[in-house]
């Protein structure tokens, strides 16, 4: 390590030390990094491998890296495509699962939350970033203070509110509390709006455009990138949420996927659960997020610095 | 965009000079009315689902409200009961145990990962892989590890068997339930936390490292004398996010152990939900969540104060 050359190149960065790339320290460091990546990815592979297995054959091949008796049976069971006999022959419980319904419910809730929240929070952010009015900063600080309130704290009273609206066990009831705003969404959009040059809306204003028009025709089209990022983050959050939908959506018709997975797991017999079915269901629940991530990984990864370093 | 903006007033010769002036008086009075319009939906959401429930939650904690009828005002009775509630103290201890394990390992591993990434590669692919567990639902992660750690045919126990070690009932034994749940959540969050720290590392100017390298500092010395001190504000922020987050662990426990065996993994948030919805003690559960709220606020405040989170050593 002491072999560092005394003539640093002007563009040298900590990562540009190619000349020493075969030192023992670096090999060990790479080994660690690869180990962690494997530790991260292997469980996902194992989920896929199990989902493609025949549940009966699973016990005998518990360590085989390939699917035990490769079959799509688990997926067919979960999606309700298998007959009762077929399901039981493969070690499924035969209990039917309205997976399509839960999938639809999750989709409806996540879309309602995302579209509503991003739009209404953007409107609020416009008021905080582009308009001048007395008390603006105080009101904004007030909005932000809601970030400190733990979700469980508002969950109990919100349950009563949703109940008094008669929206228990409905999808709008699940979506409503985060549909109109979250402090984070307002903050996120405001940060971006603050960076847009004032001349733009000044010019539009001189042309006689109303604020509504400036917001919709000038500011929003310029903000496609942060809107996409925010939508992604909030869609994922809404799709993955468990506690609130568990409290509010308890009937079959209002159950979302995460809650259904919990129910599915508690329904499987204690002795030998339908592991292949459970992993197939779990994988299906994760697929929309995995697909979104595949398509927009760069955007999500790059947004992490922003969400953390406020 | 702007091409579709049709001027309401024809742009005549006189326009250019006078129009900016006519907009000024409106500006001086402020855009209060327009702002009210833009703020309306979000304000309704804020008042209805953040402000009002906060006030109502505090009020409920002073009543014996249950889901079947109206509650009576009971003053601080709930809080007195909490102080004498063994299950509450147990849940606090269990939660604390979980937080210490979770945060300790998560921060150490994430810091290591972030430094590895900084020194070895800025590859997007590596970051994409490491973030993957963070994006899937807690419930999915919980069920996945429930299967990996299954006593009978889970791959981890099969591997233990193969190594000659004895099988472990990870979720089923009182001693292992919390460490296991902590491990599962470390696995889910380590990539995310590493990326937060990595973002902080990127803000340290490369010149500092060059200087250290010129002086012949070892990697180890560089880490302790440069990276760690300069990273402190970022680490404080990460700690505030992760500590307050891990105090509220719920999904993983609810799906895997449900709080058991016996009370071994009944963390505070599981206890709150149980009191509120299984026993219908809404007032008592509200008091419990006030206690949790206060604890989290104190932690966030103390962390910021003690660790001098606002200051940077970079100045």
Model pLDDT for residues B23-50, shown as the tens digit of each residue: 444 454 568 889 999 999 999 999 999 9
Say if the Cβ atoms of B42 and A181 lie within 8 Å. yes
Give pLDDT, residue A222: 92
B277 interaction partners in chain A (CB closer than 8 Å): 247
Say if the Cβ atoms of B130 and A153 lie within 8 Å. no
From A1's Cα to the closest Cα of chain B, the distance in A is: 6
Interval B52-80 mean pLDDT: 91
User: How far apart, in whole angstroms, are the C-alpha atoms of residue B37 and residue A212?
Assistant: 9
A108: closest CA among A178, A174, A165? A174
Contacts of A7 (CB under 8 A, 6+ apart): none
- Cβ A238 vs Cβ A178: under 8 Å: yes
What is the pLDDT tens value at each position of chain A, 310 positions in all?
Answer: 333 334 344 444 444 444 455 788 888 999 999 999 999 999 999 999 999 988 888 878 777 888 887 888 788 888 877 766 666 666 665 555 688 899 999 999 999 999 999 999 999 999 999 999 999 999 999 999 988 899 999 999 999 999 999 999 999 999 999 999 999 999 999 999 999 998 888 888 888 888 999 999 999 999 999 999 999 999 999 999 999 999 999 898 999 999 999 888 877 666 667 888 889 999 999 999 999 999 988 888 888 766 544 3
B115-143 core/surface letters (b: 16 or more CB in 10 A; e: else): bbbbbbeeeeebbbbbbbbbbbbbbbbbb
φ, ψ of residue B296 to 5 degrees: the values are: -65, -40
What percentage of chain B has pLDDT greater than the value 70?
88
Reduced DSSP (H G I as helix, E B as strand, rest coil) percent helix, strand, coil of chain A, to 5 = 70, 0, 30
pLDDT tens string B98-140: 999 999 999 999 999 999 998 888 788 999 999 999 999 999 9
Give pLDDT, residue B314: 52
- Cβ A282 vs Cβ A47: under 8 Å: yes
Give pLDDT, residue B163: 92
What SS3 class is residue A116?
helix
Query: Is B260's pLDDT higher than 90?
Result: no
Residue B262, burial from CB neighbour count under 10 angstroms (0-12, 13-18, 19+) = exposed
User: How far apart, in whole angstroms, are the C-alpha atoms of residue B241 and residue B300?
Assistant: 9
B71: closest CA among B279, B281, B293, B292? B281
Give pLDDT, residue A84: 65
Give pLDDT, residue A178: 95
Give pLDDT, residue B234: 86
Query: Is B7's pLDDT higher than 50?
Result: no
Q: How confident is the model at residue B312 (pLDDT cuts 50, 70, 90)?
A: low
Structure tokens that stand for A232 in this block: 């992604």
Interval B243-263 mean pLDDT: 91
Give pLDDT, residue A56: 81
B1 interaction partners in chain A (CB closer than 8 Å): 217-218, 221-222
Residue B116 in contact with partner chain A when CB distance is under 8 A = yes
Scan residues 32-51 of B and list those with Cβ closer than 8 Å to A: 32, 34-35, 37-39, 41-46, 48-51
The total of other beta-carbon atoms located within 10 Å of residue A98's CB is 14
Scan residues 61-80 of B and list those with Cβ closer than 8 Å to A: none
B218 interaction partners in chain A (CB closer than 8 Å): 1-2
Give pLDDT, residue A231: 94
- Cβ A90 vs Cβ A74: under 8 Å: yes
User: How far apart, in whole angstroms, are the C-alpha atoms of residue B117 and residue B109?
Assistant: 12
Contacts of A173 (CB under 8 A, 6+ apart): A162, A165, A167, A248, A249, A254
pLDDT tens string B126-180: 999 999 999 999 999 999 999 999 988 899 999 998 998 888 999 989 999 999 9
A154 interaction partners in chain B (CB closer than 8 Å): 49-50, 53-54, 57
What SS3 class is residue A164?
helix
Give pLDDT, residue B47: 96
Report the chain A residue with the minimal C-alpha distance to residue B126: A37
More confident residue, A76 or B278: B278
Give pLDDT, residue A65: 83
User: How far apart, in whole angstroms, are the C-alpha atoms of residue B177 and residue B256?
Assistant: 9
Say if the Cβ atoms of A242 and B250 lie within 8 Å. yes
From B172's Cα to the closest Cα of chain A, the distance in A is: 12
Number of inter-chain CB pairs under 8 A, A vs B: 321
User: How far apart, in whole angstroms, are the C-alpha atoms of residue B150 and residue B171?
Assistant: 8
Q: Please state the ipTM of this predicted complex.
A: 0.87
Scan residues 171-200 of B and list those with Cβ closer than 8 Å to A: 187, 190-192, 195-196, 198-200
Give pLDDT, residue B20: 45
Q: Which of B2, B9, B112 is nearest residue A208 as measured by Cβ atoms?
A: B9
Give pLDDT, residue B24: 46
B150: closest CA among A272, A116, A193? A272
Average pLDDT along chain B:
86
A269 interaction partners in chain B (CB closer than 8 Å): none
Say if the Cβ atoms of A153 and B290 lie within 8 Å. yes
Q: Which of A2, A4, A304 is nearest residue B196 as measured by Cβ atoms?
A: A304
Give pLDDT, residue B274: 94
Q: Which of B139, B214, B290 is nearest residue A242 as measured by Cβ atoms?
A: B139
Interface test with B, best of A6, A38, A131 (most B CBs within 10 A): A131
Give pLDDT, residue A93: 59
Give pLDDT, residue A71: 81
Residue B259 in contact with partner chain A when CB distance is under 8 A = no
Interface test with B, best of A137, A156, A178 (most B CBs within 10 A): A156
User: How far apart, in whole angstroms, are the C-alpha atoms of residue A140 and residue A125?
Assistant: 9
Q: How confident is the model at residue B6 (pLDDT cuts 50, 70, 90)?
A: very low
From B49's Cα to the closest Cα of chain A, the distance in A is: 6
Q: Which of B46, B56, B210 is nearest residue A8 as measured by Cβ atoms?
A: B210
Say if the Cβ atoms of A47 and B218 lie within 8 Å. no
Say if the Cβ atoms of B139 and A262 lie within 8 Å. yes
Q: How confident is the model at residue B202 (pLDDT cuts 50, 70, 90)?
A: confident
B208: closest CA among B189, B229, B180, B235? B229
User: How far apart, in whole angstroms, are the C-alpha atoms of residue A257 and residue A284?
Assistant: 9
Report the chain A residue with the minimal C-alpha distance to residue B268: A152
Give pLDDT, residue B226: 87
Q: How confident is the model at residue B17 (pLDDT cuts 50, 70, 90)?
A: very low
Residue B23 in contact with partner chain A when CB distance is under 8 A = yes
Could you tell me the pTM of the whole model?
Answer: 0.87
Report the chain B residue with the minimal C-alpha distance to residue A258: B139
Say if the Cβ atoms of A308 and B147 lie within 8 Å. no
């Amino acid at each position: 390590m002491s072999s560092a050359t005394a003539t640093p190149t002007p563009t040298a960065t900590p990562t540009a030390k190619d000349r020493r790339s075969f030192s023992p320290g670096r090999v060990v460091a790479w080994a660690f990094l690869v180990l962690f990546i494997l530790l991260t990815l292997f469980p996902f592979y194992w989920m896929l491998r199990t989902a493609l297995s025949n549940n009966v054959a699973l016990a005998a091949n518990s360590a085989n890296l390939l699917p035990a008796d490769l079959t799509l049976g688990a997926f067919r069971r979960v999606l309700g495509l298998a007959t009762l006999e077929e399901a039981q022959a493969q070690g499924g419980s035969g209990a039917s699962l309205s997976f399509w319904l839960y999938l639809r419910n999750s989709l409806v809730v996540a879309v309602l939350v995302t579209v509503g929240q991003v739009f209404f929070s953007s409107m609020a952010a416009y008021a905080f970033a582009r308009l001048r009015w007395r008390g603006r900063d105080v009101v904004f600080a007030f909005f932000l203070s809601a970030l400190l309130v733990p979700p469980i704290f508002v969950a109990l009273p919100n349950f009563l509110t949703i109940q008094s609206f008669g929206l228990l066990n409905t999808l709008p009831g699940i979506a409503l509390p985060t549909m109109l705003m979250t402090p984070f969404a307002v903050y996120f959009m405001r940060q971006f709006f603050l960076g847009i040059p004032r001349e733009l809306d000044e010019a539009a204003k001189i042309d006689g455009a109303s604020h509504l028009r400036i917001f919709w025709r000038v500011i929003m089209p310029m903000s496609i990138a942060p809107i996409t990022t925010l939508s992604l983050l909030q869609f994922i959050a809404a799709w993955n949420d468990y506690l609130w939908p568990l409290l509010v959506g308890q009937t079959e018709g209002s159950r979302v996927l995460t809650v259904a997975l919990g129910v599915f797991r508690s329904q499987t017999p204690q002795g030998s659960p339908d592991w292949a079915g459970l992993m197939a269901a779990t994988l299906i629940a994760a697929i929309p997020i995995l697909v979104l991530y595949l398509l927009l990984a760069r955007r999500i990864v790059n947004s992490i610095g922003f969400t953390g370093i406020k | 965009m702007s091409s579709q903006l049709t001027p309401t007033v024809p742009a005549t010769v006189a326009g250019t000079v006078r129009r900016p002036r006519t907009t000024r008086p409106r500006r001086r009075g402020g855009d209060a009315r327009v702002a009210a319009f833009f703020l309306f939906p979000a304000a309704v959401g804020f008042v209805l689902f953040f402000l009002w429930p906060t006030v109502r939650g505090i009020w409920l904690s002073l009543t014996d409200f249950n889901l079947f009828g109206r509650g009576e005002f009971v003053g601080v009775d709930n809080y007195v009961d909490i102080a004498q509630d063994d299950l509450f103290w147990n849940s606090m201890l269990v939660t604390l145990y979980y937080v210490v394990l979770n945060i300790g390992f998560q921060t150490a591993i994430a810091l290591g990962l972030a430094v590895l990434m900084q020194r070895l590669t800025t590859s997007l692919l590596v970051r994409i892989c490491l973030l993957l567990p963070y994006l899937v639902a807690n419930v999915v992660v919980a069920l996945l590890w429930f299967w990996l750690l299954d006593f009978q045919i889970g791959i981890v126990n099969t591997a233990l068997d193969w190594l000659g070690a004895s099988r472990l009932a990870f979720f089923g034994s009182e001693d292992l339930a919390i460490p296991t749940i902590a491990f599962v959540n470390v696995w889910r969050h380590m990539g995310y936390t590493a990326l937060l720290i990595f973002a902080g590392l990127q803000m340290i100017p490369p010149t500092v490292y060059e200087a250290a390298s010129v002086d012949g500092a070892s990697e180890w010395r560089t880490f302790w004398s440069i990276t760690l001190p300069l990273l402190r504000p970022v680490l404080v922020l990460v700690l505030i996010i992760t500590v307050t987050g891990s105090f509220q662990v719920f999904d993983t426990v609810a799906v895997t152990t449900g709080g058991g065996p016996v009370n071994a993994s009944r963390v505070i948030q599981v206890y709150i939900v149980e009191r509120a919805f299984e026993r219908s003690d809404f007032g008592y559960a509200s008091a419990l969540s006030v206690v949790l709220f206060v604890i989290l606020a104190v932690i966030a405040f103390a962390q910021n104060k003690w660790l001098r989170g606002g200051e940077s050593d970079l100045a």
